[in-house]
Amino acid sequence: MNIKVKAPLDPEFMPMAVVYRDFTEAAKKAGGQKLVMATVRSHGYVSAFEVTVFPDGTGHDDENFAFVERIVKTLLWTRGGYKIIIAGSRVIADKIAAAYSPGGLREFDRGFMSRVFEREFEVEWKPIGEAPVTRESASPVGRHLDGNRIGFDAGGSDRKVSAVVEGEAVFSEEVVWFPKINSDPSYHYAGIQDAIKTAAAHMPSVDANGVSTAGVVIDNKIMVSSLFLKVADEDFDRTVKNIYTDIAKEIGDVPIEVANDGDVTALAGAMDLNDVNILGIAMGTSEAGGYVDGAGNITGWLNELAFVPVDFNKTSRYMQRGTGIDEWSGDYGCGVKYFSQDSVIKLAPEAGIELDADASPAEKLKTVQDLMKKADRRAALIYETIGVYFGYAVAYYALFYDIKHVLLMGRVSSGDGGTLLLKEANRILKEEFPELDKRLTIHLPDESSRRVGQSIAAASLPDIH
């Protein structure tokens, strides 16, 4: 593999962007065969992706599977779906079907998607002549600021609400709450209800409700969310799934839109930049993503980048130690271990920094950030490494998203470390992917910049006409 820039603390890092480039070039030289993979989700929407693989039966079947399995996983977690279609190689399709079968390699992914889409997950083979084609949603969402609107933003540590009249916030409130540790959904219901009714009291009437929330949202329903982590499944289905629409009905039959908070963050950035094709990435407890397309719309895609693979090397020192393995899915090389506080913690021992084993992840991150403020070279190596990771990851994401702007956010990217991270990421694009560098800009918003608030952007989600 020809990698121009090595990650200082992870020289074994095998970026998916380079793996993709090298593999497809080698497959084409070997005569190649076309393979189309697709995911199918609600309303019959289809996301198709075409690659060139080695011809079946030429001694490359295992290589084909290892490569395609990563691409399929990427497509599944960026777009979402209850079905995978593989058109072309029956050999590859059978291997993917086995991986996504009960007890298979990707049993976690299968179960997650089955719950999100409330459908039994399946893998289907088709001949290449019947390859699926992309069919996406084109419904515009957001940027509507007319009328009297409520915008609610549900975070893991605080909830914000705004009353917005003709695009101006006439009232905003931020309240600390603890949704992740409460098992009784009445706690969540009362908190959301109080916020909505408080905002409504500051306007003569309510024309629309917009909600920004952590979790996976399908048709305004909460399918999975860390905010309701402790809520039992039966209570979740009965009370949580429609919690936002049920509360909104209490103040009138008006339009409501519920969207993932990553998407709303990207929308807020799009409104601030007055542009489109924006991928927002937040590095915090995990890696969160959101996307606004070329029409300025939120797409309805999952954008769960924490589960998207960015490192192809499953035998690196970090994988062997277990620090490169996602505890939830059990998978290797996924974004959560590269673009969150987990990445900082993973890299610290390699940099020679000893962290307090009893400290929380947030406290461990702060220790490294404090060292960074003191110009500690060891801390700088951590951020340089994450910057190299990120530059290559952006190039990989660009295969699946049409990107003009990347918004880099979250507490991992704050301070001097974030500045160094950005510098290294830009270096990767310039040296390794110059064509991409010419058309894509990574933004690190400074903390004093005037941005459209998250709850105000949420208020803009529904169209009242």
pLDDT digits (tens, 9 = 90+) for 139-149: 667 788 899 99
**Pairing verdict, β 208-213 and 216-218:** unpaired
- Residues 1-21 pLDDT 10s: 789 999 999 999 999 999 999
| pLDDT tops 70 at residue 130 | yes
> What pLDDT digit, counting tens, does each position of 299-358 carry?
889 999 999 999 999 999 999 999 999 998 999 999 999 999 999 999 999 999 999 999
- For the beta carbon of residue 373, count every other beta carbon within 10 angstroms: 11
Backbone dihedral angles phi then psi of residue 259, each to the nearest 5 degrees:
-140, 155
Predicted confidence (pLDDT) at residue 261 exceeds the cutoff of 90: no
Closest to 157 measured CA to CA, from 304, 284, 303, 246 = 284
pLDDT at 391 over 90: yes
**How distant is the alpha carbon of residue 356 from its chain centre?**
30
Asked whether 267 and 151 are in contact (CB, 8 A), the reply is no
Per-residue pLDDT reduced to its tens digit, 211-240: 999 889 988 999 998 899 899 999 999 999
| Residue 379, token pair as written in the block | 């801390």
Domains delineated in the chain = 31-130 (no CATH), 148-253 (3.30.420.40), 266-443 (3.30.420.40)
Residue 448's pLDDT band (boundaries 50, 70, 90)?
A: very low
Distance CA 38, CA 366 (A): 41
